[in-house]
Amino acid sequence: MEPVRLLPGFRDFYPEAFRLRRHFATIWRQVAGLHGFSEYDGPVLEALDLFRKKSGEEIERQLFAFTDKGDRAVALRPEMTPTLARMVAAKAASLRRPVKWFSIGDQFRYERQQKGRLRCFTQFNADLLGEEGPAAEVELISLLAASLRAFGLTEEDFCIRISDRTFWIHFLETRGITGETARGVLGVVDKLERESPEATRQALGAVVGEAAADPLLEAIRRLVAVRDLGELEAIAGNGVDAGALGAARERLALWAELMADLEAIGLGDFVQVDLGVVRGLAYYTGFVFEAFDRKGAFRALAGGGRYDGLVELFGGPSLPAAGFAVGDVVLEELLRERGKLPPLVEAVDVYLVVGENSRRPALEAAAALRAHGYRVEYALKAGGFGKQFKAAAQSGARLALTFGPDEIARGVCKVKDLAARTEEEVPLASVLTAVARHFQA
RNA sequence: GUGGUAGUAGCUCAGUCGGUUAGAGCACCAGAUUGUGGAUCUGGGGGUCGCCGGUUCAAAUCCGGUCUACCACCCCA
């Protein structure tokens, strides 16, 4: 028989790997709870239209899409936001605001896999809806930082770079660049870090024309080099369109509020103004942010931003919204590289060593101990005591309880502290209290 | 979807001027040890050398294709 292989880009989670998966989920639930977010989930399979609606038809190439037996065009979800937007849109009238929801779930993308990117991965998503001001971003960035710091990552390890699509739009307007051309320019900005200066210049020339390219490129380079608000203000002042200039200045007031709040909650060393972050998504409408490894060796750890139009797009009221997602794949790579993966061991509390004709009393004890919440394991097959003690040691149990013919005949069992290597005899009737005594200490 | 590199045991790998029955370490199982420990020693299971085809008396080894993985591009919600 030919073995059936794992699908490309998918993973098996053997117990050891699953422990890490569970660890991620535990930490994310914990920090989300600390921020007052409620957990939700939606279906893994959705109507294809849900994703087309948001991202356009060209996105289909990256979708696990197919026709089901009822002739419906469906797709595995590539991200959580459309599902969230649909759910919120359907109940928006009755939801208490702000809506603060999070989810932990698998996402699917039909892409060639590579470092940090698989076809099925787990995302922690958090969204805050109903708040139009930067207070939403503050709360979300606070949660994002917490969801990384909880793994032991510090300001030495990661940084959250914050940008602003609205500022970019206004800035380009001051230079008479709007609409499709503006989008094209942002596409060039997005690639600025990765492309050679010549390629960038050429791409920009193709978008805005040769005459405008050089001065614009100069201005863009100054903008993306900005790391604090003062510089931003100075650069924003050099425009020709007075109306756009005013709009850009209004954004700066929101920036000031955002950064001051982040400073106040202790994230000053974790966040950075960086207009080089654009994010590909067309639906982002305001502040956008990405969490990066400080050393720049990995893909983005997380990304998010404001998407004020999306709930309305899904048939709901006009509802301001922002959110972010953290993926498990890059995070695991980073934690592994930094030696921050915790030793995740699964250990029982008590291991029963069972001798000849002693199975029943041992089973009774196991049942009683389990009923009291102790994790109990014992050898399923009778074997030598040496072998059973070896198994007891490997099980990670704190105690080994010996049930042999000698003990049973005398109405006792032996309780051994495996770490201290000390052993005592206790009457069968008081096994529970003897075990309890060891676990109290 | 495009390009580059690679594929030998569960894992890490050795093994090519083409030549007997393909190896080691780790892991797993058993025995030494039928009543007390993660050690040690001995033994064992586990491979159609990714798959298919070609060249050859003979292929893990050379050639072609294919699949998969890794890296990069496209994309990155």
Mean pLDDT check: name the lowest of A25-39, A84-98, A331-345, A418-432. A331-345
ipTM: 0.88
pLDDT above 90: residue A413: yes
Tokens encoding A176: 């008479």
**Residue A57: pLDDT band by 50, 70, 90 thresholds?**
low
Report pLDDT for A240. Answer: 59
Answer whether residue A313 is part of any domain: yes
Mean pLDDT, rounded, for A64-82? 94
Regarding predicted confidence, which is higher, A55 or A347?
Answer: A347
Same domain, A74 and A188: yes
Q: How far, in Å, CA of A27 to CA of A137, rounded?
A: 21
Residues 301-320 of A with CB under 7 A from strand B: 303
Strand partners, A104: A124
Same domain, A328 and A355: no
Distance, angstroms, CA A298 to C1' B71? Answer: 13
Tokens encoding A394: 């490997």
Domain boundary among A271, A306, A337: A337
Residues 158-197 of A with CB under 7 A from strand B: 191, 194
Distance, angstroms, CA A25 to C1' B29? Answer: 35
Asked if strand B comes closer than 7 Å to A2 Cβ, the answer is yes
**Domain CATH for A300:** 3.30.930.10
Same domain, A76 and A150: yes
**Residue A281: pLDDT band by 50, 70, 90 thresholds?**
low
Asked if strand B comes closer than 7 Å to A59 Cβ, the answer is yes
Distance, angstroms, CA A435 to C1' B57? Answer: 74
The per-residue pLDDT for range A93-143, each reduced to its tens digit, is 999 999 999 999 999 999 888 888 999 999 999 999 999 999 999 999 999
Distance, angstroms, CA A275 to C1' B76? Answer: 18
Answer whether residue A342 is part of any domain: no
Asked if strand B comes closer than 7 Å to A40 Cβ, the answer is no
Same domain, A257 and A236: yes
Domain boundary among A284, A304, A337: A337
Residues 207-266 of A with CB under 7 A from strand B: none
Same domain, A303 and A414: no
Distance, angstroms, CA A435 to C1' B44? Answer: 39
Closest nucleotide over all strands to A347 (CA to C1'): B38
Report pLDDT for A113. Answer: 87
Report pLDDT for A135. Answer: 97
Question: Across chain A, what does the average pLDDT equal?
Answer: 91
Q: How far, in Å, CA of A307 to CA of A322, rounded?
A: 6
Distance, angstroms, CA A204 to C1' B56? Answer: 59
Strand B, nucleotides covered by protein (CB < 7 Å): 1-3, 30-38, 48, 67-77
The sheet with strand A287-293 has its strands ordered as A38-39, A99-108, A120-129, A321-327, A302-306, A287-293, A158-164, A271-273
Regarding predicted confidence, which is higher, A374 or A247?
Answer: A374
Same domain, A131 and A246: yes
Domain boundary among A302, A337, A372: A337
Q: How far, in Å, CA of A109 to CA of A117, rounded?
A: 9
Distance, angstroms, CA A2 to C1' B60? Answer: 20
Mean pLDDT, rounded, for A365-377? 96
- Nearest 5 degrees, angle CA A297-CA A300-CA A304? 165
Strand partners, A101: A38, A127
Answer whether residue A251 is part of any domain: yes
Determine the residue type at A58: E
Regarding predicted confidence, which is higher, A163 or A248?
Answer: A163
Number of domains in chain A: 2
**Residue A416: pLDDT band by 50, 70, 90 thresholds?**
very high
Answer whether residue A2 is part of any domain: no
Mean pLDDT, rounded, for A58-67? 83
Residues 321-350 of A with CB under 7 A from strand B: 325
Determine the residue type at A263: E
**Closest by alpha carbon to A400, among A373, A369, A441?**
A369
Distance, angstroms, CA A15 to C1' B50? Answer: 26
pLDDT above 70: residue A327: yes
Asked if strand B comes closer than 7 Å to A394 Cβ, the answer is yes
Q: How far, in Å, CA of A111 to CA of A63, rounded?
A: 8
The boundaries of the domain holding residue A421 are: 350-440
Determine the residue type at A131: E
The percentage of residues in chain A with a pLDDT greater than 70, rounded to a whole number, is 96
User: CA distances (Å), A406 to each of A384, A412, A431, in order?
Assistant: 15, 9, 16
Answer whether residue A10 is part of any domain: no
Same domain, A312 and A362: no
Tokens encoding A228: 């604090």
Residues in chain A: 441
The per-residue pLDDT for range A188-237, each reduced to its tens digit, is 888 888 788 888 888 899 889 888 899 999 889 988 999 988 888 777 76
Report pLDDT for A41. Answer: 97
Asked if strand B comes closer than 7 Å to A355 Cβ, the answer is yes
Distance, angstroms, CA A53 to C1' B66? Answer: 38
Same domain, A270 and A413: no
Q: How far, in Å, CA of A155 to CA of A341, rounded?
A: 17
**Closest by alpha carbon to A83, among A106, A67, A117, A62?**
A106
Report pLDDT for A398. Answer: 94
Mean pLDDT, rounded, for A9-17? 89
